[in-house]
Amino acid sequence: MLTLLFDGIAYGMLLFVLSLGLAVTMGLMNFINLAHGAFAMAGGYILVVLMQKAGWPFLACLPAAFLITALAGALLERTLYRPMYGKPHLDQVLFSIGLTLMAVASVDYIMGSSQQNIQLPDWLRQRFEFGSGATMLGMGAYRLFIVATCVAMALGLQAILSGTRFGSRLRAAVDDPRVAAGLGIPVNRVFLLTFAVGSGLAGLGGALGADIFGLDPNFPLKYMVYFLIVCAVGGTSSITGPLVAALVLGIADVFGKYYVPKLGAFIVYALMIAILLWRPQGLFSREGKK
Amino acid sequence: MSGKASALLLAPARWRRWEYALWAAIWAAPIVFTSHAALINEIAIFGLFALSLDLILGYTGIVSLGHAAFFGVGGYAAALFAKHVMPDPLVGLAVGTVLAAVLGALTSPMIVRGTDLTRLMVTMGVALVLLELANKFDSITGGADGLPGVMMGPLLGQFTFDLGARVASFYSLAVLFVAFLILRRVVNSPLGLSLKALRDNRLRVMAIGLSVNFRLALIYTLAAALAGAAGALSAQTTGSATLDLLEFHRSADVMLALVLGGTGWLWGGPIGAIAFSVLRDLLSSFTPQYWTFWIGLFLVVLMLVGRERLFRPWTWFKRSGS
């Protein structure tokens, strides 16, 4: 059972990194970006292309996935997303669905529709085991690496958010964009940078988790629900909210699929509906309006 | 109320000449295009589905990405009813409608609270839960293979459903017409006016003392009932019920069709269904495998330019902001 817990934590941390960009975009720009899964898919495919076609080592592909997706995110934000900020949510939803469809079809055309195989390096294929019997804790090196990377990133992001000037500007802009702009904070630049970093994180998460999630052109459509659940349940005004929500989601999903495979993902969706009924603003949201 | 004000409010309720003409053309379609009766049937069902979505999206402002839940419930209910209880189509239609309405009433408390995102997630969540349940309880629903062999009895005891789908298309068109009439009456009533007020300014509606939750629950149940009717029609006229009825792409397709037809005026559903089918056929004939790319591109451009401009060709070449 401890192994399951560890697997659930790894899955949850991965979901957290993937959903963080979406949560911040929603909290900051009030923009429902359903195309976020497409950035994650892009990161995964960048990893595949760099590792298989260019022969790069696994560790070098991860920052590359982050940077390339971040650049793509910045470009898209500046050109396509910015005119959509003030529009009603329905328009934003349809716009991002359109982007996702385009991304899915393009990847299908360029890379083919079969699932991609990720060749993990040997040092990530090891497995460590502690204890025995019912309390055995078996940790694969790959999942350990994922947990370590995500924890490091969460700590780093929290440090940036609370320790740097950019972090306080971001928090101000999330709380009240109009007053922030009135104080002279360059809100547009904050948006651009945040969107780029959020997309980069999605790309990194997609590259990290490509082996766990399975990488095919339908990746955004399959997993977008999970990212949205994390954001809706965790609230969009902090980092800890999506973190807790992602961990709960990951653990619930892994446990549910192991103990009650007949119900599968039903548990996760039912849990989400229950939590949203109890606290419609999300578990950790500070806002009570909108 | 003064004469001028009441005339202004009653004006949308009056039938215009082009509406009579359009309905005459629609009813004539299965007679004129007999070889395309199956397509007409499909468009009529889709139009009813989109009409039900217009009720919550266009008139009340609820963004729902899980409307296929009611479509699927209606479909499976009608299919199972026909298989295990009674093959009469009208009774099966009633069963599908009522069950979908019950589901709508049960889930309506979930959509009255929270933000747009919460509503989006809850509606999507309900559809996903139902999809999972239908998938897992495959002893009842047939699972991924679907529920085949739904044999329907003759409609009204006289008209048997033929392979050419002529009876089916008239059946679906009749249900669509009845639903259109009912909804026309609803949206032009004081209830309909209060819904439009809800869509535009919920706080103000609360301030004048109208019960928001009751109205939302009522209209959501009605929309669920109509979507269930559409699903029941689909199961009955195609003779099967599969998991596809509950899938996300159904909810997304119907939303796109409604946006194409225009939200907030009842014709958006039927016209959008026709436009969407035409668009899909056109794109599929060009690129059978990657037509979703062009749909996506169309959506992106449409949203960037502005949804309302689609119906106002004189604004196409002006700068936005007018």
Residue of A nearest to B296 (CA): A98
**B304/chain A closest Cα distance in angstroms:** 7
Query: Can you give the pLDDT at residue B227?
Result: 95
Give contacts of A113 with chain B, Cβ < 8 Å: none
Section B204-209 average pLDDT: 89
Asked if B300 lies within 8 A of A290 by C-beta distance, the reply is no
Q: Tell whether the model's pLDDT for residue B45 goes beyond 90.
A: yes
User: Can you tell me the distance from the alpha carbon of B313 to that of B222, in angstroms, rounded to the nearest whole number?
Assistant: 34
Residue of A nearest to B117 (CA): A232
Residue of A nearest to B249 (CA): A221
SS3 label, residue A131:
coil
Residue of B nearest to A282 (CA): B118
Asked if B299 lies within 8 A of A83 by C-beta distance, the reply is no
Nearest to A276 among B122, B298, B300 (CB): B122
Q: Tell me how many degrees the CA angle B47-B280-B309 measures, rounded to the nearest 5.
A: 75
User: Can you tell me the distance from the alpha carbon of B254 to that of B261, in angstroms, rounded to the nearest whole number?
Assistant: 10
- The tens digit of pLDDT for each residue in B138-161 reads 777 777 777 777 777 777 777 777
Please, what is the average pLDDT of chain B?
Answer: 85
Asked if B117 lies within 8 A of A26 by C-beta distance, the reply is yes
Residue of A nearest to B128 (CA): A269
Residues 75-134 of B with CB under 8 A from A: 109-110, 113-118, 120-122, 124-126, 128-129, 132-133
Helix ranges (H only) for chain B are: 3-10, 17-32, 37-57, 68-84, 89-111, 116-136, 138-141, 166-187, 190-200, 202-207, 212-238, 248-261, 268-286, 291-305
Give contacts of B110 with chain A, Cβ < 8 Å: 273, 276-277
Residue of B nearest to A227 (CA): B121
Q: Tell whether the model's pLDDT for residue B322 goes beyond 50.
A: no
- The tens digit of pLDDT for each residue in A126-137 reads 777 777 666 677
Query: Can you give the pLDDT at residue B319?
Result: 56
Section B274-284 average pLDDT: 87
The parts of chain A modelled with pLDDT lower than 70 are: 132-135, 264, 284-290
Query: Can you give the pLDDT at residue A70?
Result: 94
Q: Tell whether the model's pLDDT for residue B308 goes beyond 80.
A: no
SS3 label, residue A123:
helix
- For chain B, domain boundaries: 26-247
- For chain A, domain boundaries: 2-217
Judge whether B307 is closer than 8 Å to chain A, CB to CB: yes
Nearest to B118 among A102, A232, A262 (CB): A232
Residues 201-260 of B with CB under 8 A from A: 248, 252, 255-256, 259
Asked if B293 lies within 8 A of A290 by C-beta distance, the reply is no
Residue of A nearest to B263 (CA): A90
Tokens (6 digits) for B304: 């960037």
User: Rounded to an integer, what is the distance from CA A201 to the centroid of its chain?
Assistant: 7
The answer to whether the predicted template modeling score (pTM) of the entire model surpasses 0.90 is no
Asked if B118 lies within 8 A of A276 by C-beta distance, the reply is yes
Asked if A225 lies within 8 A of B110 by C-beta distance, the reply is no
User: Rounded to an integer, what is the distance from CA A140 to the centroid of its chain?
Assistant: 22
Query: Can you give the pLDDT at residue B313?
Result: 62
Classify burial at A133, counting beta carbons within 10 Å of its beta carbon; exposed 0-12, middle 13-18, buried 19 or more.
exposed
Tokens (6 digits) for B273: 């269904």
Phi, psi of A127 (to 5 degrees): -145, 130
Identify the residue whose tokens are 């035409």: B278
- The tens digit of pLDDT for each residue in B211-266 reads 888 888 999 999 999 999 999 999 988 888 888 888 888 888 898 899 888 888 88
Section B79-93 average pLDDT: 86
Asked if B292 lies within 8 A of A225 by C-beta distance, the reply is no
**B276/chain A closest Cα distance in angstroms:** 15
Contacts 24+ apart (CB under 8 A), B24-33: B26/B173, B26/B270, B27/B173, B27/B177, B29/B169, B30/B166, B30/B169, B30/B170, B30/B173
Rounded to whole angstroms, what are the CA distances from B297 to A106, A112, A149, B77?
A: 11, 20, 36, 36
- R_g over Cα of chain A: 19
**A232/chain B closest Cα distance in angstroms:** 6
Asked if A272 lies within 8 A of B121 by C-beta distance, the reply is yes
- The tens digit of pLDDT for each residue in A77-103 reads 989 888 888 788 888 888 998 999 899
User: Can you tell me the distance from the alpha carbon of B197 to that of A223, in angstroms, rounded to the nearest whole number?
Assistant: 36
Nearest to B128 among A90, A104, A269 (CB): A269
Section B117-131 average pLDDT: 85
